[in-house]
A and B are shown apart, each in its own frame.
Chain A
Amino acid sequence: GAGVSQSPRYKVAKRGQDVALRCDPISGHVSLFWYQQALGQGPEFLTYFQNEAQLDKSGLPSDRFFAERPEGSVSTLKIQRTQQEDSAVYLCASSLVGGYNEQFFGPGTRLTVL
């Protein structure tokens, strides 16, 4: 079925490199979320889009993190000048209407910064 897809599934970056993570949500889903999940932790909210509008970016840990969803469908999370503490799984989820409905998750991108 056409679920949420993310690419790449795995990314290894050298400290200081820029990375871009892609999310393709379920077609027709208005809301899109990015989460960061460290080992043994629950997902930590990063940012939320409703269509192309970024309504909440309060979870982005620093100005090195930037997300966009220019046409209200595909979204990209960019991390500039990666640091070792950025190593985590980055999960993307979409839902019909955020906060009230089931969120469908992609498989995640496992980022390792050396």
Chain B
Amino acid sequence: RKEVEQDPGPFNVPEGATVAFNCTYSNSASQSFFWYRQDCRKEPKLLMSVYSSGNEDGRFTAQLNRASQYISLLIRDSKLSDSATYLCVVNGGAGNNRKLIWGLGTSLAVNP
């Protein structure tokens, strides 16, 4: 089993749709969780950190479920500009907490 798993997609949705991505991680000792966004041929950029209590930033909501070891990202009222690859990132856990483990990414295409 890979340490961080994501559905690669692609997810094709119309403008205005709500779309959700899930990501599972294998190391129960992981402490930090992030969603990054990567546009085609560009470098990854932080979208949001994921906190235990869940957090929201405008149209984006992130949730963490430690018991089931997954994190989620919800995008509401999707825009054309949301088209990108969304990368789930988890730190390495106890003894290796400086290392970030990256998922393969989930591709999203928002269509007019």
Contacts and interface: CB of A to CB of B under 8 A. Distances in A.
Interface of A: 31, 33, 35, 40-45, 48, 50, 55-56, 91, 97-100, 102-103, 105-108
A41 B102 CA distance: 10
Contacts of A55: 98
Interface stretch (B13-21, B41-49, B58-66): B41-49
B102 A43 contact: yes
A2 B12 CA distance: 36
B43 A105 contact: yes
A50 B42 CA distance: 25
20 contacts: A33-B100, A42-B102, A45-B100, A45-B102, A55-B98, A91-B44, A97-B98, A98-B99, A98-B100, A99-B32, A99-B91, A99-B92, A100-B91, A100-B98, A103-B44, A103-B46, A105-B44, A106-B43, A107-B42, A107-B43
A64 B26 CA distance: 30
Interface residues of B, number: 22
Interface of B: 31-32, 34, 42-46, 49, 87, 91-92, 96-105
B29 to A, nearest CB: 12
A105 B45 contact: yes
Of B91, B98, B105, the most chain A CB neighbours within 10 A belong to: B98
